[in-house]
Amino acid sequence: MNNRKLKSNKKAISPIIATLLLIAIAVVASLVVYAWVMGYIGYQTNNAGNSIAIQSVNFSGGKITDIYVQNMGTTTVTLDGNVYINGAQYTASAGSGALSAGKTSDLQVSYPVTSGQMYTVKVTTTSGTYSQITQQAP
């Protein structure tokens, strides 16, 4: 009998406190989502003016010798000198550095190629912007 009395005296949380807890959880969750979205939008806004495009890849003497990159954005970008050919990283011997809006740079590399094979060339900037092109070696 005593055990039954204890069970009947247990009370649940009041409806007012339950409602307040749900509102607090919803507010905290919305603040977390807001902070994430604002951070993402801020990152994308900073990179909006950065845009590069590989205009052409020069094959000469059985090698990739020059990669012409143009700044298509509205701000100056910095080419980091890294060139990725079929996923492997190479460092350009010349042409890296600051590139003003609308200007073109000649990244010089010396990568041996096989005639008729496809090569994917990717150029990156220090801010993470990149351009990629796939061409067949002559």
Topology annotation, domain 52-136:
Immunoglobulin-like (2.60.40)
- Is 119:64 a contact under the CB 8 Å cutoff? yes
- Look at residue 118 and tell me whether its pLDDT is greater than 60: yes
Distance CA 89, CA 132 (A): 13
Helix (H, G, I), strand (E, B) or coil at 81: strand
State the chain's mean pLDDT as an integer: 83
Distance CA 124, CA 126 (A): 7
pLDDT-derived band of residue 12, with 50, 70 and 90 as boundaries? low
Q: pTM above 0.75?
A: no
List the domain boundaries for the chain: 2-47, 52-136
More confident residue, 9 or 80: 80
- Look at residue 101 and tell me whether its pLDDT is greater than 70: yes
- Look at residue 96 and tell me whether its pLDDT is greater than 90: no
